Amino acid sequence: MRDLIQLLPDNVANQIAAGEVVQRPASVVKELLENAIDAGAKNIQLIVKDAGKTLIQVIDNGKGMSENDLRMAFERHATSKIRSANDLFNLTTMGFRGEALASIAAVAQVRCSSRMADDEVASTVEINGGKLTNYGQDALPVGTSLEVKNLFFNIPARRQFLKKDQVEINHITDEFQRVALANPQVAFRFFHNNAELFNLPISKPKLRIVNIFGKKYDQRLVPVDEQTEHLRIRGFVGKPDSAKKRRGEQFFFVNNRFIKSPFLHHAVQKAFTDLIPHGYHPSYFLFFDVDPATIDVNIHPTKTEIKFTDENMVFAMLASAVKHGLGKHNVAPSLDFELGSTFTLPKSDPNRPVKMPEIKVNSDYNPFSNPTPGKNIGHAAHNPKSNPEEWASIMPRDIPDIGPIKPMVPEENGMGNTQVEVDDVNDFSGMVEKFGGKFLLCIHGDQLHFIHPRRAHERILFEAYNKELSRKTAPSQQLLFPQTIDLSADEKIRITPWLSEMTGFGFDVEINENQLNFYGLPVNLNESSLPEVMEALLDDLQDGGQWDSNHFHQKLIRNLAKNSAIRNIKNLQKEELNHLAEALFLCDEPFISLHGKPTVFTVTINELEKYFN
Ligand code: ADP
Ligand code: MG
């Protein structure tokens, strides 16, 4: 036989092509939601079971399909949205390739019912792995309901490849949020395993953001709106003081299509230069309305990149628009910004006084609820202002109480008592002093140590929490007034599976609606640090990776240690300094910080001798 080439059977070809469009449940969600939007729906419901592995259903009240169209819709390259290649340059819909439904139907069990306004009843089709298995009529309201069951049932290798439910539902949530953000004129509800995750009424764009990401965004956002002949940039950016260490909510939409663009991201980042500390990220929700002719839309079905014809102009305009938005609301130095019909780069006026961006840092921050001002040197035990209960909270309970170590300083009566007492526990000489206002200096046997206090304290707390973890005993300190942390729907999804794990660390916490209520905290955690700990943890949880409990514990412990550690030693008493040094040297890894940096710089007698020789 000389001729070897054969055409693939349709269903095999479709399965292969489907791989391009349908990578995971979230891809199905995206396609179905976009179809509902294209159909002009004002009300869309997303119903998901088992992170989309069992069921993804979208019900819309859009214009529906005729009986014939309903069958056609599942053919490859069947679309009502474009008729010729020219239409590609004039796209007003999300879909246009006519591939999604055919692809989805090739790799799942699909049932679709649809009814147009003129029809008495809805038509229904069932398609199983690309084959029409049933059709008929149903009594349904106008619109379309599409159920996708058992995704990849006929491609076991793909099905096995799906990630844990938590990961897949995060992807679905991402897609849902993108569509919901771009379409505040549409009401959305999203159910997962019978729990309602989102209920978003029709609203203004800003309220849509707040409804998705939580009440705190109400105060955080400033509007951006600039327009030239060919481009309009509108939306919101987060105020600089709400910037986060983790990339927070960052969204670009071009003609209502979500896109990713490092290039545009850079432009926003540029506008925030000097307004936020290095390593922090602003949030933004920015919409570009452009003439479809000026962008290349004929992109890969799942691609989120886009190409502008005049990228540099877009870059400059975006950076300026954001600056302008920030300036208008007095959160940034304002620039002269005159936009004519043709876009020009803003020039800053040399005669105009420039207001330096302010980043508020409270250098006086002291984690102790009731700081003792002034006196830094003195015999702690004789100092009536020094309250051991205050500093006890900075030390993990693990540190054996070796009692106050007498300092080598004159007594307060000025008698010049220079007696040195050496505590024999741990061979600790007990001379701990502040050095340069920033470091601790102490003698330990024949070594002289300079300690970095914050890193040291982080290390101490970190090890103490880890010990608690291994003993599974973490006492909780009950709060007089419960503290609440608001959650966005998204954060709620991410944190819920881990709440029981938090109890093991001394958190007494309950979830209710979109709030976490804390009734008790780990003993070492200062109440005022709770918001920071939780924000960092929620940010960590956003990284989408697969988390097991070990991973979660380590993240939580690190956050706790970081946020409960002292920031400076200004108000620390002698005795507190001693305890800090002691506790550090009792650690398993006293010399390395949680971030791999040194905690201690040491000079030994040998080194000294060498130096003098
Ligand atoms: P595309 O969206 O690229 O046209 P799809 O495969 O997603 O391709 O959909 C094929 C066609 O099915 C659409 O062009 C549209 O006419 C019709 N369709 C799909 N979903 C809906 C819906 N929810 N309501 C009305 N019509 C729909
Ligand atoms: Mg489509």
CA of 489 to the centre of ligand 1 (A): 29
35 CB within 6 A, ligand 1: yes
424 token code pair: 């024999």
Which ligand lies nearest to the CA atom of residue 117 in the structure?
1
Gap between the Cα atoms of 515 and 190, Å rounded: 19
Average pLDDT over residues 140-162: 93
pLDDT at 395 over 60: no
pLDDT confidence band for 137 (50 / 70 / 90): very high
The residue nearest atom 25 of ligand 1, judged by CA position, is 64
Q: Which residue has the higher pLDDT, 370 or 294?
A: 294
Report pLDDT for 387.
37
Tell me: pLDDT of 364 over 80.
Answer: no
Closest protein CA for atom 23 of ligand 1: 36
Distance between Cα 453 and ligand 2 center (Å): 58
Residue showing tokens 């304290």:
457
**What is the C-alpha to C-alpha distance for residues 572 and 581, in angstroms, rounded to an integer?**
12
Verify whether ligand 1 is closer than 6 Å to residue 27 (CB atom). no
Tell me the CA–centroid distance for residue 91 and ligand 1, in Å. Answer: 15
Give the residue with greater pLDDT, 402 vs 594: 594
Ligand 1 pocket test, pick from 30, 35, 111 with the greatest ligand atom count within 8 Å of Cβ, gives: 35
Q: Write out pLDDT tens, residues 405-424.
A: 222 222 333 333 333 333 33
386 CA distance to ligand 2 middle (Å): 70
Report which of residues 32 and 381 the model is more confident about. Answer: 32
Q: What is the pLDDT of residue 300?
A: 56
Q: Specify the range with the lowest mean pLDDT, choosing from 138-147, 232-241, 599-608.
A: 599-608
Per-residue model confidence (pLDDT) at position 400: 35
Angle at CA 62, nearest 5°, toward 57 and 64? 85
| pLDDT grade for 258, boundaries at 50, 70 and 90 | very high
Q: What are phi and psi of 392, to 5 degrees?
A: -55, -30
101 lines ligand 1 (CB under 6 A): yes
pLDDT at 331: 59
What's residue 549's pLDDT? 80
Does residue 334 have a pLDDT over 80?
no
* 3-class secondary structure per residue, 221-283: EEEEEEECCCEEEEEEEECHHHCECCCCCEEEEECCEEECCHHHHHHHHHHCCCCCCCCCECC
**Any ligand 1 atom below 6 A from CB of 58:** no
pLDDT for res 505: 81
Atom of ligand 1 nearest to the CA of 104: 6
Helices (H), 22-115: 25-38, 67-72, 100-106
Pair type for strands 284-290 and 231-238: antiparallel
Which ligand is located closest to the Cα atom of residue 74?
1
Q: Is 322 in the pocket of ligand 1 (CB under 6 A)?
A: no
Distance 198 CA to ligand 1 centre (A): 25
> What's residue 416's pLDDT?
32
For atom 8 of ligand 1, the residue with the nearest CA is: 98
- Residues 328-331: contacts with CB within 8 Å, 24+ apart? 328/222, 329/222, 329/239, 331/222, 331/239, 331/240, 331/241, 331/275
Percent of the chain exceeding pLDDT 90 equals 36
Ligand 1: which atom is nearest the Cα of residue 58? 23
> Is the CB of 590 within 6 Å of ligand 1?
no
Distance (Å) from CA 71 to ligand 2 centroid: 15
Q: What is the pLDDT of residues 453-468, one digit of tens each?
A: 999 999 998 888 888 7
> 364: which 2 tokens?
């006086």
The pLDDT value recorded for residue 234 is 96
Selected residue with higher pLDDT from 400 and 85: 85
**Region 529-542 average pLDDT:** 87
Other CB atoms within a 10 A radius of the CB of residue 471 amount to: 9
> Which pLDDT score, from 0 to 100, does residue 453 have?
93
CA 544 to chain CA centroid, Å, is: 9
Predicted confidence (pLDDT) at residue 344 exceeds the cutoff of 70: no
Residue 569 or residue 82, greater confidence: 569
Task: For 341-362, give one letter per residue: b (16+ CB within 10 A) or e.
Answer: eebeebeeeeeeeeeeeeeeee
Q: Is the CB of 78 under 6 A from ligand 1?
A: yes
Instruction: Look at residue 524 in the predicted model and tell me its pLDDT.
Output: 75
Tell me: the pLDDT tens digits for 177-190? 999 999 999 999 99
Residue 563 has pLDDT above 60, yes or no: yes
The residues with which 553 forms a beta bridge, in sequence order, are none
Q: Is 39 in the pocket of ligand 1 (CB under 6 A)?
A: yes
Radius of gyration of the chain (CA): 31
Is the shortest distance between the CB of 97 and ligand 1 below 6 Å?
Answer: yes
Check residues 14 and 166 and name the one with the higher pLDDT.
166
Cα 183 to ligand 2 centre (Å): 16
Range 32-59 average pLDDT: 97
Please choose from 32, 82, 101, 148 the residue to mutate so as to test ligand 1's pocket, defined by most ligand atoms within 8 A of CB.
Answer: 101
Pocket test for ligand 1, best of 31, 33, 38, 96 (most atoms within 8 A of CB): 38
Ligand 1 pocket, residue 65 CB under 6 Å: yes
Mean pLDDT taken over the chain? 79
Task: Judge residue 194's burial from the number of C-beta atoms within 10 Å of its C-beta, 0-12 exposed, 13-18 middle, 19 or more buried.
Answer: exposed
Contact criterion met (CB below 8 Å) for 335 and 324: yes
Window from 255-269, 297-311, 463-477 with minimum mean pLDDT: 297-311
Tell me how far the alpha carbon of residue 140 lies from the centroid of ligand 1, in angstroms: 18
Q: What is the mean pLDDT of residues 43-58?
A: 97
Work out the average pLDDT over 120-134.
95
Residue nearest (by alpha carbon) to ligand 1 atom 14: 79
- 71 in ligand 1 pocket by Cβ < 6 Å? no
pLDDT of residue 343: 31
* Structure confidence at residue 285 (pLDDT): 97
Which of 96-110, 276-290, 406-420 is the least confident region? 406-420
What pLDDT is attached to residue 394? 47
The residues, any chain, with a CB within 8 Å of residue 205's CB and separated by 6 or more, are 184, 235, 236, 285
DSSP 534: H
Give the model confidence (pLDDT) of 107-116 as tens digits.
999 999 999 9
**C-beta 66 within 6 A of ligand 1:** no
Model confidence at 611, in pLDDT bands (50, 70, 90)? confident
Phi, psi of 6 (to 5 degrees): -130, 155
